[in-house]
Structure formats: structure tokens, C-alpha cells
Amino acid sequence: MLKGIAASEGIGIGKVIVIRDQDVTYEQKTVANPEEEVKRLHDAVDEFMVKTERLAEDMEKSVNPKEAQIIRGHMEMLEDPFMVSQMDDMIKDEGMCAEAAAETVLNMFKAMFEGVEDELIQQRATDIEDIKSRLLKILLGIAEADLKTLPPETVLVVGDLTPSMTAELNKDNVAAIVTESGGMTSHSAILSRALEIPAVLSVLNATATLRDGATVIVDGSNGVVINDPTVDEAEEYKKKQAEYFAEKERLRAYIGKESLTADGIKKDVFCNIGNPKDGIKAKEKDGEGVGLFRTEFLFMDRDSVPNEEEQYEAYKKVCDTLANKTVIIRTLDVGGDKEIPYMNLPKEENPFLGYRAVRYCLQNKDQFSLQLRALIRANADTSGNLWIMVPMITTVSEFKEVKAFVEELAAELDMPVPKVGTMVETPAAFMIADKLAKYCDFFSIGTNDLTQYIMAADRGNSKVAYLYNTYDPAVLRAIRQIIETGVEGGIPVGMCGEAAADPLLIPLLISFGLTEFSVSPTSVLKTRAEIARWSKAEADHIAETVMALETAEEAYEQLKSFVRG
Amino acid sequence: MVSKTMKLVNAQGLHMRPAQVFAAEMKNFECDVNLECNGKKANGKSLMMIMACAMKCGMEVNIQCDGPDEEAALAKAVELIESGFGED
């Protein structure tokens, strides 16, 4: 079994065809007639333009107009006055052959782009590599690898999938793609997702390990490639594949649609994300915003607190990705089960009841101000839909202190004050929710911690795991009361725990009046589909029955019979 | 020569598409157009050079136009940057 990056979901089973990089080496020779050599270069450039335009047109039909723009960008890059004129100069002044002149100039731009501290522009270096290889092939008279006539059920194995390869691909015949390089945001990944072909990227030595004609299974959802599967494995994955297709077909109807209950009440389905790159996933999976951006990733796996600039870049990136959509960012939730060594938090008897999250931040205001300033700036420099969410609030004065601090920093920066709300996850916050609602711009219910605190049962302790249950009437009552209190106070209430995507709980949440469901990107369409199943009246009927029950088991069984019929 | 320093307002900065629009518009003028930003210089008529400067939102960019139609070129350059290239 080989592992790589799960770049495009789905399961593909087929026979391997390895496409090896073609040899574009040439003999460096001094040219006798520079004028003729310049003409040879210009002819090649013209041919490049014609071929690329044709590729772009193919791509408009086979992929989509947006991806075709990538290819058209190649024409614009080569049309740059500096490009060909510099190549001409090298031929004329230094007697280089057209191949060497083209390679030298393109390599120079590639190095320039690679050296830039901007991911978008760094990625353009792969475009230049693509231009180079195609221009050299034209000059050398080498035919492009033929991807139009691949046999059905091909698993394409390549070093890197270039945009020009993708344009030619007969996608109906490609069961899956495996590459040796590329990450989640590479062209290969974006293109394979646009083509809806399962893909696993960055598989070490894939072109050497996987042999032409061998049967492989590519699990693009989990980043796994199984070489020569056993009969059992093949059966198992065929079943998974059928399930995946059936589910995808069912959910297709919900793509790009508003999230509405059966009787037309508008809800928001947002995403929970853990780093700026997940923002892209949230957008691609049709999330209507971000309901929880955990910022801990920025602070982990390093030796010191990230500076304001670094934080600003990360927050801004997500807001840019989800332009004009709400992005709720949670301030640092350190402590509890999340340890960050350089912060030197002392070992505690009861870390979940100890020095964590906002308690820590308010005692370390210098550090907290870096995060808040970065958030205020990111909000001011984007569409202004960044909301700040404060975790572990237990008292009104804690929240007022945070809010005053945000207002003070925003005044210093002369920037607007973002919306500030609280994550309702402690029993104390739930008991005083009406008071908190006066100061908060929104509530978000964190069901994981709320369940643990309401039930007084450590999530990680298997001896008391039987108590940790979101279906428990105590937890359901707390959820209902928080939502109703927020609604009465005129503020939006969201939920960012696993419960928001639970089909059994969705009718209850609709009945209680929840407006925003924040789920993992892969659950967006499923959640939208579940919301569409229920009208408010049906949901109220379910809630009335379930909320009268006495135990978690009864609630669970009752919900199951309502939801699964 | 005329010049002006201004702030980039479009969210993504001068990445591929806006750089392409900018360079294409500047090619309509006879004068030389140079940009200075992020400690780097670029010919304003070259998409590739502009991209290599990695000009981001919020950065200051100095535009210099030198030649017969320098006033008109600068006015167009300012208009393009101020409009944020039609991005949100």
C-alpha cells in the first residue's frame, strides 16, 4: 500500500499507465545564422500559441472555463515583451541556439517566481515549467504524450500532472490519477477535483513502483493507493465505490443551493476548519461561510508565539478565499487537552477545569493583543465579515473585558470593531446566557466541551464514557435553552460541534431555532440535505416528543425511529 | 517624468490576472512605465516582471511614467490600481 495526499475524493480502480517525462535534452551549439535561429524560435512560439489556444478551447468544454484560464495564462506569459525579446537577444548576442535561449530565459523567471514570498506566485513557477517543456518539445519536434487515446479504466501515473496534460485528457477513460509531486492547492489537485477524478498526489516513486498494466485501487478520499489488490480488497473497494457514487448522486441536487428547511426557512451551513488551506476545501465543498476556524495550528509545532504579521496573513487568507462570506475565527484555545510546550503552562490536576483558553489569554494580554490586532486588521483589509469568537467564557465580566480590549485595539488601529461573540460551552455561560446575549454579537455552541462539562464526564476517560452523550436530556435542554435565549436576545446562534452534522439532531436544532450549522467541509451537502427534509412543524413535533423523555438511550431510540423511519 | 505613490487595495495584490490587465493597458502608451514596490523594480508593461515583485494588498507602490504621453499613462495606472481591478 502506498500513501500520498488525498487530493481529489472518490475511488478509482483500473490499470496503470505510466507517463514518463519525455526527454527534452538537446545539444548546445553555437548558431551560424542568428537571424534564421530567431525565426525558428518565433515559429515555435507561434505554434505554441496556436496549440495552446486549441487546448484552452478543449478545456472549456471538458473541464470548465475557469481552468481554461490557467492555460490561456500560459499564452499571456509567453507574450510578455520581456520573454521572447530576451530570448532573441541571447540568440543574437551570444549565438545561443533557440532551445538554450528559451530554457535560459524561462529558468530565470522560474527562479524569480520561486523566490517570492507569495504562494500564489510561487505556484506560477510550475506554469513556467510547463511552458518550457512544451516549447522545447515544439523546437525539438517531439510529439506530446498522447492522453486522448487512453484505454478505458486507466489509472494515470505521472511525475506531475501539468495543465496542458489535463486539457488533453479523455476524462471518461481515466479512473484515477497518481502523481509524485503536488499538494492540496497544486494545479494537479485543483484540476483533478474539477474533473472529478479521484487523485492521490505526492506518492514517492510512483512512476517506478507502479508498473504499466498492473491493477491498482486509488482511494482519493483517504490518500491510499493499493498495488495488486487481493480479491477481498477489490470487492471491498468496489462496494465502497458504489456507495460513494450513490451518495454523490443523491447530494448533487444540493450543490450551489441555499440551505432551506422543507417549509423554506433559511439556514446557514458553515464549515469548521483548522488551517488556511482548509478554507479552500470549505469553498469547494459549498460551505456558506466558516463557523469555526481553530487558530491553534498557528501556535503548535514551533518554538515561539507567531508574530502579528504571520497571524494576519493566515486570517486574511481565509477571508480572501471566502470573500464576502462570514468567517468566524476562534481566539487561542490553549490548555485542556491542547498543549503548547513553549507557553510553559504548568501541569494541572484538572486541566479542563484549569488555566485554559480565554483565562490564559486575559492573563497574557501582550500575547493576546497580537492575535486580536491581527484579527482586527484582517477584518479591515477584507470584506469585513470576520467575527471573533471567544472560547471558555464563564462570566459576563470576562466577556466584557475581552470586548473592551478589542475596542481599545481597534481604536488604536483606527479600524472598525469586528463582531465579537462567545462560544457557549460551560454550564456557567449557559446559566447566564441571557446576560451574555446583551454584550455578545453572536453565540456559537461548542457541543464537545458543553457535553463534557454538563455531564461532568471527561471526554477522554473510558470509565465514564457512558455518561458523555450529547443525546442526554441534560445536554439537549442546555442546547435548547442557549438557542432560545440567543434568539430572544436578537443575536444569531450557531453550532460548531460534531452535533451540527448529526442527522438525528438536526430536526431538534431546527425546532430550537438554530440558524447556523457549522460542519466539516465534507459534511456540507449532507447537512443541507438533512435540513431540507424537515419543516418547522415536523421538527417541533419531534422535539416535543423527544424533550419529554428521561434518558439518553430513550432520546436516541426515539430520534432514530423518527429520522430513519 | 511623472510619478505617484499609492496603496494597493485589491485583496490578492498584483497577482496574475490584475498584473496582466495592468501590463496590457500600459502597453497602449508610448512612455516607459516603471513600478517600484516591495523593494523591487519592474517594467510596468511586463506581466512577468510585475508578478515577480509579489505586490500584495496594503503595500505601497510607486509608479513612474517617462515619455511623451506620461500624464495619460499615469492617470490610467492610478485609475486601475484605485479600482482594485474590479475585484471585490
Count of domains forming chain B:
1
CA–CA distance, A43 with A20 (Å, rounded to integer): 27
- Specify the residue for cell string 457549522: A518
Which of residues B66 and A73 earns the better pLDDT score?
A: B66
Which residues in chain B touch residue A316, judged by CB atoms under 8 angstroms apart? 57
Q: Which of A74, A75, A76, A382 to mutate to test the interface with B (most CBs of B within 10 A)?
A: A76
Query: Could you report the per-residue pLDDT of A343-367, keeping only the tens digit for each?
Result: 888 888 888 899 999 999 999 999 9
Grade residue A293 by pLDDT with cuts at 50, 70 and 90: very high
Computed over every residue of chain B, the mean pLDDT equals: 88
Class of domain A24-140: mainly alpha
The percentage of residues in chain A with a pLDDT greater than 90, rounded to a whole number, is 67
Which residues in chain A touch residue B54, judged by CB atoms under 8 angstroms apart? 116-118, 121
Q: Report the Cα A474 to chain-centroid distance in Å.
A: 34
- CB–CB contact A77 B48 (8 Å): yes
Write the CATH number of the domain with boundaries A154-251: 3.50.30.10
Q: Is A553 a residue whose pLDDT tops 50?
A: yes
Which of residues A429 and B84 earns the better pLDDT score?
A: A429
Average pLDDT, integer, range A438-449: 95
Chain A residue with Cα closest to B20: A76
Query: Could you report the per-residue pLDDT of A269-289, keeping only the tens digit for each?
Result: 999 998 888 898 899 899 999
What is the per-residue pLDDT for A336? 77
Catalytic residue among B4, B9, B15, B21: B15
Residue B25 belongs to domain spanning: 2-86
Residues near A129 by beta carbon (within 8 Å), at least 6 away in sequence: A110, A162
Instruction: Show which residues on chain A lie within 8 Å of chain B, measured between beta carbons.
Output: 73, 76-77, 80-83, 109, 112-113, 116-118, 120-121, 124, 316, 320, 323-324, 381-383
Q: Is A63 a residue whose pLDDT tops 70?
A: no
Grade residue A149 by pLDDT with cuts at 50, 70 and 90: confident
Average pLDDT, integer, range A440-449: 95
Residues of A annotated as catalytic are: 187, 496
Computed over every residue of chain A, the mean pLDDT equals: 91
- CB–CB contact B15 A81 (8 Å): no
Q: Is A438 a residue whose pLDDT tops 70?
A: yes
Q: Is A144 a residue whose pLDDT tops 80?
A: no
Which residues in chain A touch residue B48, judged by CB atoms under 8 angstroms apart? 77, 80, 82-83, 109, 112
Which of residues A564 and A444 earns the better pLDDT score?
A: A444
Q: Is A185 a residue whose pLDDT tops 70?
A: no
* ipTM value > 0.90: no
- CB–CB contact A121 B56 (8 Å): no
What is the per-residue pLDDT for A458? 84
Grade residue A459 by pLDDT with cuts at 50, 70 and 90: confident
The percentage of residues in chain A with a pLDDT greater than 70, rounded to a whole number, is 99
- Please tell me the pTM assigned to this model: 0.66
CA–CA distance, A500 with A445 (Å, rounded to integer): 9
Query: Could you report the per-residue pLDDT of A486-512, keeping only the tens digit for each?
Result: 999 999 999 997 799 999 999 999 999
The residue ranges of every structural domain in chain A are 24-140, 154-251, 257-564
Quick one: DSSP state of residue A119? Answer: H
Q: Report the Cα A479 to chain-centroid distance in Å.
A: 28
Which residues in chain B touch residue A320, judged by CB atoms under 8 angstroms apart? 11-12
Write the CATH number of the domain with boundaries A257-564: 3.20.20.60
Grade residue B88 by pLDDT with cuts at 50, 70 and 90: very low
Q: How many CB pairs under 8 A join A and B?
A: 54
Amino acid identity at A411:
A
CA–CA distance, A442 with A81 (Å, rounded to integer): 53
Measure in Å the smallest separation between the Cα of B54 and chain A Cα atoms. Answer: 6
Residues near A565 by beta carbon (within 8 Å), at least 6 away in sequence: none
- The CATH number for B42's domain is 3.30.1340.10
- Specify the residue for cell string 419531534: A542
Question: Which range is least confidently modeled, A521-535, B10-24, B25-39?
Answer: B10-24
Q: Does B52 touch chain A (CB under 8 A)?
A: yes
Query: Could you report the per-residue pLDDT of B43-86, keeping only the tens digit for each?
Result: 999 988 898 888 888 888 999 999 999 999 999 999 998 887 76
Task: Choose among A73, A117, A316: nearest Cβ to B16.
Answer: A73
Burial class (CB in 10 A: 0-12, 13-18, 19+), A548: exposed
Measure in Å the smallest separation between the Cα of A124 and chain B Cα atoms. Answer: 9
